[in-house]
Amino acid sequence: MPSAVDVGIAACGAYVPRLRLSRAEVASAQAWVNPGLRPLARAERSVCGWDEDAITMAVEAARATLADRDRATIGRAYLGSTTAPYADRLNGGVVSGALGLREDAAAFDVGGSMRAGTSALLAAFDAAAAREDDVLCVAADRRRAAAATQQELVIGHAAAALVVGRGPGIARLLGHASLTVDFVDHFRAADREFDYQWEERWVRDEGYLKLVPRLVGDLLAQTGVAARDIARFCLPSPIRRVDQQVARAIGIAAERVSDPLSDGCGDSGAAHPLLMLVHALESARAGDKILVVGFGQGGDAILLEATGAPTGGAAAGVTRWLDRRASCSYPRYLALDGLVKLDRGIRAEADKGSALTAAYRHRDFLLSLTGGRCDACGTHQIPRGDICVDPDCHAVGALAPHSFAESAGRVATWSADRLTFTPDPPAYYGTVDFAEGGRLLMDFADVDEGAVDVGTPMRMVFRIKDRDPVRGFARYFWKAAPVAAEEA
In angstroms, the Cα distances linking 364 to 55, 107, 372, 389, 390 are 17, 17, 11, 20, 23
pLDDT at 23 over 60: yes
Domain of 33, in residue numbers = 7-190+197-336
pLDDT at 3 over 70: no
pLDDT in tens, 413-444: 999 999 888 899 999 999 999 999 999 999 99
Give a yes or no: residue 47 inside a domain.
yes
| 329 and 360 together in one domain | no
CA separation for the pair 248, 381 (Å, rounded):
60
Category of 196 on φ-ψ map: left (φ > 0), alpha (ψ -120 to 50) or beta: beta
Strands (E), 142-256: 158-166, 171-180, 186-187, 196-197, 230-234
Measure the CA–CA gap between 13 and 303, rounded to whole angstroms.
19
CA–CA–CA angle 354, 357, 359 (5° rounding)? 60
In this structure, is residue 1 part of a structural domain? no
Question: pLDDT above 90 covers what percent of the chain?
Answer: 89
Residue 485: per-residue pLDDT: 55
Average pLDDT (246-256) is 97
CB atoms within 10 A of CB 401: 13
CATH code, 48: 3.40.47.10
User: Do β-strands 19-22 and 326-328 pair in parallel, antiparallel, or remain unpaired?
Assistant: parallel
Residues 69 and 167 in one domain: yes
pTM of the model: 0.96
Query: Is residue 364 located within the same domain as residue 323?
Result: no
What is the length of the chain?
488
Query: Sign (positive/negative) of CA torsion 53, 54, 56, 60?
Result: positive
> Mind listing the pLDDT tens digit for each residue in 278-295?
999 999 999 999 999 999
Q: Are residues 175 and 280 in the same domain?
A: yes
Q: Do 330 and 410 share a domain, yes or no?
A: no
Residue 488 pLDDT greater than 80, yes or no: no
The number of distinct structural domains making up the chain is: 2
Secondary structure class of 36 (helix, strand, coil): helix
pLDDT mean across residues, the chain: 94
pLDDT of residue 219: 98
Packed helices 91-99 and 54-65: angle between N→C axes, nearest 10 degrees = 40
The pLDDT tens digits of the residues spanning 344-384 come to: 777 777 777 788 899 999 999 999 999 999 999 999 999 99
pLDDT at 311: 73
Q: Per-residue pLDDT tens for 57-100?
A: 999 999 999 998 999 999 999 999 999 999 999 999 999 999 99
Q: Are residues 170 and 294 in the same domain?
A: yes
327 and 427 inside one domain: no
User: Domain check: are 280 and 425 in the same one?
Assistant: no
Q: Tell me the pLDDT band of 269, cut-offs 50, 70 and 90.
A: very high
Confidence of residue 486 (pLDDT cuts 50, 70, 90): very low
In a shared domain, residues 37 and 160: yes
460-to-60, 78, 480 alpha-carbon distances in Å? 10, 23, 5
What is the pLDDT, as a whole number, of residue 368?
Answer: 96
My answer on whether 69 and 165 are in the same domain is yes
User: Which of 336, 360, 394 represents a domain boundary (last residue)?
Assistant: 336
Residue 85: is the preceding peptide bond cis (ω within 30°)?
A: no
Residue 2 counted as domain residue = no
Residue 240 lies in a domain: yes
Q: Are 254 and 244 spatial neighbours (Cβ–Cβ below 8 Å)?
A: yes
Quote the CA–CA distance of 271 and 115 in Å, as a whole number. Answer: 9
> Pairing state of beta strands 409-417 and 289-295?
unpaired
Is the pLDDT score of 315 beyond 80?
Answer: no
The predicted structure's pLDDT at residue 312: 64
Checking if the pLDDT of 258 tops 80, the result is yes
Domain end position, chosen among 284, 311, 336: 336
315/436 same-domain check: no
Q: Is residue 159 included in any domain, yes or no?
A: yes
342/348 Cα distance (integer angstroms): 11
Claim to verify: residue 292 and residue 356 sit in the same structural domain: no
Q: Is a pLDDT exceeding 60 seen at residue 130?
A: yes
389 found inside a domain: no
Task: Give yes or no for residue 149 having a pLDDT over 80.
Answer: yes
